[in-house]
Amino acid sequence: MTTKKTPKPTNRRDFLKKAGTGAVATAAATTLGAPYVKAAEPIKWRLQTYAGSVLGQFVTKPFVDAFNKAANGEMVIEVYYADQLVPTGELFRALQNGTIDAVHSDDDSMSAPVEISVFGGYFPFATKHALDVPTLFHQYGLADIWRDAYKKAGGVVWLSAAGQDPCNFNTKKEVKSLADLEGLRLYTFPTAGRFLAQFGVVPVTLPYEDVQVAVQTGELDGMSWSGITEDYTVGWADVTDYFLTNNISGAWIGSWFANEKKWMELPEHLKQLYLSCVEASHTFRNQWYWGGEAKLRATGDKLKLRTIPGTEWGQVEQAAIKFWDEIAAESELKAKVVGIFKEYNGIINKAGGLYSCG
């Protein structure tokens, strides 16, 4: 007859010893192949956009909504609109010092202390259409130049750029010639205003959300800040009467930025998700603007269309060439960017407008 051995009683001390040994082994295994473990609390970022609350629903919020849904609780982005947390002109500094975590804006408006900031927003006649922007960044080297410029500035990571609408004019006064621009007080971008001043335009800087009221009170005569899609969307078509079909640039150059420290702390899968949602938002804006520009010019009933004849508008185009050369003379890096614009525009002009459809 076999006698069963009675198990030795396990006291609390023995249990803790064994548990401790197992924990060490488990910790060692985890260290060797540590998978990402979802944090108990979601990562939270604050993003501010250059756009006001109405425009921001189309140009920035689709990215935020897509990312928050796909992040599945691991990370949440809160969106703030123009000037809500800090003035637009202070966005770079606020991002650099961590007051905010991410920004959607152009380099020019946010006063980025980098040489290439002058090319953000609307650099006169650098582009003809929105798709010129990703082409320039991905095929002609601007992405590397932008990335390096912000790396040297420190504290801010440049992530991606895309085009949006052209820079036309919507005004209270009818504009049919260059002479009609004389004395017009227009809300516009820093570099665009610098360029337009030679034609008598008076550039005015105001908080974005004050612009519409400024036209109603007579402080402004209009805007040279967008295409017709935005004019109708944000209400500017309700306070101005005319839309000038001539533009000084075919596409806004805007970018997405992040605080460097916060970006480096993100796990790789969230970085990839972030960038994927940014790229998807580019696609949405492309069709939203492109369709709106055509439809509202053809069927819009609030703004009367006017055009300065090409023979006269050619003076503005010639002035842009001189302006480019002045900017190029300021530094070697600026000269390199201007050289890229010249090369690309030479190819586009040779190919023909919209590649010569017939």
pLDDT for residue 24: 40
Tell me if 36 is assigned to some domain.
Answer: no
pLDDT at 6 over 60: no
Q: With DSSP H G I counted as helix, E B as strand and the rest as coil, what are the percentages for the chain, rounded to 5?
A: 50, 15, 35
Q: How confident is the model at residue 355 (pLDDT cuts 50, 70, 90)?
A: low
Q: What pLDDT does residue 196 have?
A: 98
Does 15 map to a domain? no
Same domain (yes/no): 52, 197: no
Q: Are residues 68 and 131 in the same domain?
A: yes
Is 331 in the same domain as 196? yes
56: in domain: yes
Q: Flag whether 31 is in a domain.
A: no
Same-domain status, 288 and 214? no
49: domain CATH number? 3.40.190.170
Please give the mean pLDDT across all residues of the chain: 91
261 and 143 belong to one structural domain? yes
- Is pLDDT above 50 for 19? no
Q: Based on the structure, what is the number of domains in the chain?
A: 2
Domain check: are 98 and 213 in the same one? no
- Same domain? 347 vs 288: no
Residues 57 and 152 in one domain: yes
Q: Tell me if 13 is assigned to some domain.
A: no
pLDDT tens for each residue of 201-254: 999 999 999 999 999 999 999 999 999 999 999 999 999 999 999 999 999 999
Tokens at 304, concatenated: 């009367």
Range of the domain at 57: 43-164+251-294
Residue 32's pLDDT is what?
Answer: 43
Backbone angles phi, psi at 9, to 5 degrees: -60, 140
- Banded pLDDT at 78 (limits 50, 70, 90): very high
Residues 158 and 175 in one domain: no
In a domain, 24, yes or no: no
Contact 119, 61 (CB under 8 A): no
| Number of other CB atoms surrounding residue 325 within 10 Å | 12
User: What is the C-alpha to C-alpha distance for residues 227 and 80, in angstroms, rounded to an integer?
Assistant: 23
Q: Are residues 153 and 63 in the same domain?
A: yes
What does the alpha-carbon distance between residue 247 and residue 249 come to, in Å, rounded to a whole number?
6
Residue 20 has pLDDT above 50, yes or no: no
123 pLDDT more than 70: yes
pLDDT, one tens digit per residue, over 99-112 is 999 999 999 999 99
Q: What are 157's strand-pairing partners? A: 258
Q: Are residues 272 and 333 in the same domain?
A: no
CA distance 50 to 60: 9
- Do 224 and 340 have their domain in common? yes
**Residue that terminates a domain, selected from 275, 294, 313:** 294
Residue 61 forms part of a structural domain = yes
